[in-house]
Amino acid sequence: MMEQASPLMQNLRRSVAWFVASVLVLVVSSIGLSRFLETETPAVSLALDPFNADALIAEITSDLNDTNNPPNLDLLLAKARGALSFDLADARLYSLIGEIKYRQGEKDEAYALFDQARKLSKTEIHALQRSISRAVEIGHLTKAIGEIDILLRRWPDQFPAIAGGMPAILSNPDGYQAVLTALGTEAPWRPRLIAALSKTPEGLDFANRLLLDLSGTTAPPKSSELSVVISGYILQKKYEPAYRLFLFSLSDQERKLGGYIFNGTFEPVASGRPFDWQLRDQSGLEVTFAASDHAVEGEGGATVRFLNTPVKNTALEQYIELPPGSYRISLAASARNLKLPKELFWSIRCVDPAGEIARFNIPEGTYNRQNLSQDFSVGPSACPLQLLRLQTAAIAESWRFRYVGTLIMHKLSIERLPS
């Protein structure tokens, strides 16, 4: 039978156990604090935990990005290789060593390291960026777009860095086809690309072409994409291609609503595209569209309900394109207890140069399917685009001028008169 430990030995064992536990707590605490500090103060983090790879990577990256103090590449290389000996599976370390080698002029070895990083992690961000740049540089644009797709799916915040180079890629037939293929698979960065291209004249033509080519695929253009490109053309004052794209984008059903005014019967099929009706948020009134063949008591069209409050500015508008000539604007309308303290009218304004061409007033009162019309002309001077707008003459929202009642506009049309 073993002898019971003496009180001295028991105390010694307790002391050793306490010491070991204290050391473990200190180590764990140091590692935890190191993790907490690794992003903002990686040097302090490394002092607490020399094996913190995240802190080491953050420190080396910070040194490489420091434009005020040229980095000591040999020292950084030694640090990165030292860390790699403890973690051979960290793709970021291969990528960092590759970047150091790249800056040292050893590009073949650098790209081999980037490839190794990609084998370990297909989405390693820096290796991806360098690989994309390399693919573009040597003209492997199909590969470049494939890697751009990987990058932007994993790192969508990198889109601004990619967007600037897309027109150059699209100007190459292989690059264009690769981009079209990616967009045809509903790449998540597709809307951002179309929007970015629509901000420059060069990009607009590529965006237009992409949408036209996508129209024959299983991923045709969306109304939002068409709106962005059409609006881009209008902002660039390229009105003809804007209107052509709108006409091309119409479905067979929408084509039946065509005319100088699109959807002049106010069918509830608004697409949100320019050259279609735009409803503006406006307090004091409600605007609803009802199909003429389903309307109660034949009151199809646009119903405008005034809520006994002041109404200022625009309720409804649409871009139109009228060549020089003489025209008649006609409105079939009904009204119930319509009280207009200031004028309610349709205006036709030239967009560029700005100026009113015609103003067509709507009468007060109660009436049923009254036919109203007014003649006007578009002069021979340049006015390639007009804006048709329903608005009031109120300048300030004074409660003395409260609009009351209901207006139903069954049909609004413009016809060209014989010269």
Question: At 263, phi and psi to the nearest 5?
Answer: 55, 55
Least confident interval from 171-185, 194-208, 283-297, 383-397:
283-297
Structure-model confidence comparison of residues 51 and 241, the more confident one: 241
Give tens-digit pLDDT for 344-386: 999 999 998 889 999 999 999 999 999 999 999 998 877 999 9
Question: At 370, phi and psi to the nearest 5?
Answer: -80, 135
Query: What are the structure tokens assigned to 4, written together?
Result: 């019971």
Closest CA to 145 of 187, 116, 84: 187
CA distances to 110, 127, 308, 348, 353 from 377, in Å: 69, 63, 35, 10, 16
Least confident interval from 62-76, 130-144, 397-411:
62-76
Helix (H, G, I), strand (E, B) or coil at 105: coil
Q: CA-to-CA distance for 333 and 366, rounded, in angstroms?
A: 10
CATH of domain 278-416: 2.60.120.260
Q: CA-to-CA distance for 75 and 66, rounded, in angstroms?
A: 15
Can you give the C-alpha Rg of the chain in angstroms? 34
Q: CA-to-CA distance for 76 and 82, rounded, in angstroms?
A: 10
Helix (H, G, I), strand (E, B) or coil at 320: strand
Three-state secondary structure readout of 377-417: EECCCCCCCEEEEEEECCCCCCCCCCEEEEEEEEEEEEEEC
Average pLDDT of the segment spanning 54-73: 75
Average pLDDT of the segment spanning 18-47: 38
For residue 39, pLDDT beyond 90: no
Q: Give the model's confidence band at 53: pLDDT under 50 very low, under 70 low, under 90 confident, else very high.
A: low
The separation between the first and the last C-alpha atoms of the chain, rounded to the nearest angstrom, is 127
Task: Yes or no: say if 340 and 308 are a contact pair by the CB < 8 Å rule.
Answer: no
For residue 164, pLDDT beyond 70: yes
Q: What is the pLDDT of residue 375?
A: 96
CB-based contacts of 201, cutoff 8 Å, min separation 6: 236, 238
**Domain locations along the chain:** 16-137, 139-249, 278-416
Counting every residue written for the chain, the total comes to 419
Q: What is the pLDDT of residue 99?
A: 84
Q: What is the pLDDT of residue 6?
A: 65
User: What amino acid is encoded at 268 in this protein?
Assistant: P
Instruction: Calculate the average pLDDT of the chain.
Output: 83
Average pLDDT of the segment spanning 97-101: 83
Q: Give the model's confidence band at 85: pLDDT under 50 very low, under 70 low, under 90 confident, else very high.
A: confident
Task: Yes or no: say if 134 and 153 are a contact pair by the CB < 8 Å rule.
Answer: no
Q: What is the pLDDT of residue 223?
A: 92
Residues of the chain with pLDDT > 70, as a percent, come to 84
Helix (H, G, I), strand (E, B) or coil at 13: helix
Q: Give the model's confidence band at 31: pLDDT under 50 very low, under 70 low, under 90 confident, else very high.
A: very low
Q: What is the pLDDT of residue 52?
A: 57
For residue 217, pLDDT beyond 80: yes
CATH of domain 16-137: 1.25.40.10
CB-based contacts of 186, cutoff 8 Å, min separation 6: 219
Record the pTM: 0.78
Task: Yes or no: say if 378 and 324 are a contact pair by the CB < 8 Å rule.
Answer: yes
The residues with which 54 forms a beta bridge, in sequence order, are none
Give tens-digit pLDDT for 108-141: 888 898 888 889 889 888 889 999 999 999 999 9
Cα 371 to the chain's mean position, in Å? Answer: 43
The residues with which 267 forms a beta bridge, in sequence order, are none
User: How many CB atoms are closer than 10 A to CB 52?
Assistant: 22
Query: What are the structure tokens assigned to 150, written together?
Result: 């990987």
Average pLDDT of the segment spanning 167-184: 96
Structure-model confidence comparison of residues 90 and 138, the more confident one: 138
Average pLDDT of the segment spanning 191-196: 97
